[in-house]
Amino acid sequence: MNISVAAEKVFSIAGFPVTNSILVAWIVMIALVAASLIATRRVSLVPRGAQNFFEIVLETILKLVDSVTGDKRQSLRFFPLVATIFMFVLIGNWLGLLPGVGSIGIREVHEGKAVLVPLFRSTAADLNFTLALALISVVVVQCVGIASIGFFKYASRFINFSNPLNFFVGVLELISEIAKLISFSFRLFGNIFAGEVLLMVMFFLAPYIVPLPFLFLEVFVGFIQAMVFAMLTLVFLKMSTIESSH
Amino acid sequence: MEALANLGIDVRLLIAQIVNFGILLFLLHRFLYKPLLGMLEKRSALIEKSIEEAKTIQDKLASVEQMRAEELEKAKEQASAIVEQATKHAEEKSAALMEKAKSEVHGVVEGAREKIRMEKEHMLASAEREFGALVLAASERILKDVSDEQLTGRLRTKALDLVSKAT
């Protein structure tokens, strides 16, 4: 058994290390775009098949966004980011549960030992992926905040000399923005990576029947983590558009 | 930096993942969100419009129904008025006809009576003439044998008197 916190390099293109995680990210992207193209190939007023399915998914997400923002225009503005995060993370998590992910690979000799380098790995089981999403989420939140209440008003949230208390609160806010980055990325990474390790251990100990409940659990965790990431982004987006009352 | 590297964080991969996400966001927005959300919007607008139209149609139907009932009522009234008028007219006409017929019958009867009377007069007159002539002839014949001139004259006068009295 070989457990690596970092995603393993499978091959490289012109010096760029293509890891198993980024490979799966590409597969997820291709799958999602292909499914979208199929769903919207013939968009009709009476939906059928893939169009119907995606309409249900998008409408559910849109309703959820609406329930948080309470403003249709704002919902439509936030929707693409939230929905993309949700679907990208969800499909990445679920693809990681498919048989073959983590077990199909290339045997390589690494530091004198023969190790299996898996060809596929859950996207979220790589900190680069989760940190990238966290960065996008936090940066977009700042941009939306500045765009909706103005640069100086938004900046006064973090740098405020009106009284010592507000100054201290501002510093805390600044720290919390950085903490968001860490909590966002490590929450998702930790859950999915831990799930992978757990499943690997379970399969190693008892290959049949016993890992099944854990597999179900991981399906659930994959959904919940995608949801949490998207919902937190949404809530932070909404909060950034509200002027602070103090 | 060492810790980050141990966790597998590589700036190149990080940037690649950010770019990945950007591309996915763009493609999904272009090929999934825009068409489907547009369709959802269009559909709800259509449903709203249909409900509105159905309401309008229902209102119109109700008003048409009311109009129809009013027209029907009016037509009934008109029809009864026409029937009444026609009955009255017919009655008047039949009365007039009856009157005319009566007067005609009366005229015919009167004419017939007049004719009968005239005929009777004529007959009587001719009978008188014939009778007078007969009497004269008879008297002449009788008197020719027995009478003289004087008697004949007196008798002639008497007979003429009688005849003129009889008529």
Contact A45 B39 (CB under 8 A): yes
Using the predicted structure, report yes or no on whether residue A124 has a pLDDT greater than 90: no
Q: How confident is the model at residue B57 (pLDDT cuts 50, 70, 90)?
A: very high
Residues 6+ positions from A206 with CB-CB distance below 8 Å: none
Higher-pLDDT residue of A120, B2: A120
Query: H-type helices in chain B, by residue range?
Result: 2-6, 11-28, 34-146, 149-166
Could you tell me how far CA B163 lies from the centroid of its own chain? 73
Contact across the interface for B20 and A132, Cβ inside 8 Å: yes
CB-based contact B36 A51, cutoff 8 Å: yes
pLDDT digit string, tens, across residues A84-111 = 999 999 999 998 888 877 778 788 777 7
| B134-146: average pLDDT | 79
CB A184 within 8 A of CB A232: yes
Task: Please tell me the distance in Å from B11's CA to the nearest CA on chain A.
Answer: 8
Ranges A49-53, A149-153, B103-107, B127-131, most confident: B103-107
Q: Is the pLDDT of residue A245 over 70?
A: no
Q: Which of A37, A62, A131 sits opposite B31 (nearest CB)?
A: A37
Q: What is the pLDDT of residue A87?
A: 93
Percentage of residues in chain B having pLDDT higher than 90: 51
∠ CA A207-A212-A217, nearest 5°, is 130
Residues of A with CB under 8 A from a CB of B: 4-7, 16-17, 19, 22, 25-26, 29, 32-33, 36-37, 39-40, 43, 45, 47, 51, 54-55, 58-59, 62, 76, 79-81, 83-84, 87-88, 126-129, 131-133, 135-136
Buried b (16+ CB within 10 A) or exposed e, A126-165: bbbbbbbbbbbbbebbeebbeebbeeeebebbbebeeeee
Residues in chain B, total: 167
CA–CA separation, A57 vs A146, rounded Å? 30
For B25, nearest residue in chain A (alpha carbons): A84
Band of pLDDT at residue A5, cut at 50, 70 and 90: confident
Count CB neighbours of A92 within 10 A: 27
Distance CA A52, CA A63 (A): 16
Residues of B whose CB is below 8 A from A126? 8, 13
Chain A nearest-CA residue for B26: A80
Among partner residues B17, B23, B25, which is closest to A128 by beta-carbon distance?
A: B17
Burial class (CB in 10 A: 0-12, 13-18, 19+), A189: buried
Section A65-73 average pLDDT: 89
Among the ranges A73-77, A125-129, B95-99, which has the highest mean pLDDT value? B95-99
Residues 6+ apart with CB under 8 A from A149: A240, A241, A242, A243
What mean pLDDT is predicted for residues A119-134? 88
User: pLDDT for B6-49, tens place per residue?
Assistant: 777 888 888 888 998 899 999 989 888 888 888 888 888 999 99
pLDDT of residue B67: 94
What are the domain boundaries of chain B?
2-166
Residues A31 and A50: beta-carbon distance below 8 Å: no
The answer on pLDDT for A140 being more than 70 is yes
**Does residue A1 register a pLDDT over 70?**
no
Mean pLDDT, rounded, for A197-201: 88
pLDDT in tens, B86-137: 999 999 999 999 999 999 999 999 999 999 999 999 999 998 888 888 888 8
Q: Which of the four pLDDT bands, split at 50, 70 and 90, describes residue A204?
A: confident
Contacts with B20 from chain A: Cβ below 8 Å? 22, 25-26, 29, 132
Using CA atoms, how far residue B153 sits from A179, B140, B158, B163, in Å, is: 183, 11, 9, 15
pLDDT surpasses 80 at B167: no
Residue B147: pLDDT band by 50, 70, 90 thresholds? low
What distance in Å separates the CA atoms of residue A174 and residue A188, rounded to the nearest whole number?
22
DSSP state of B29: I
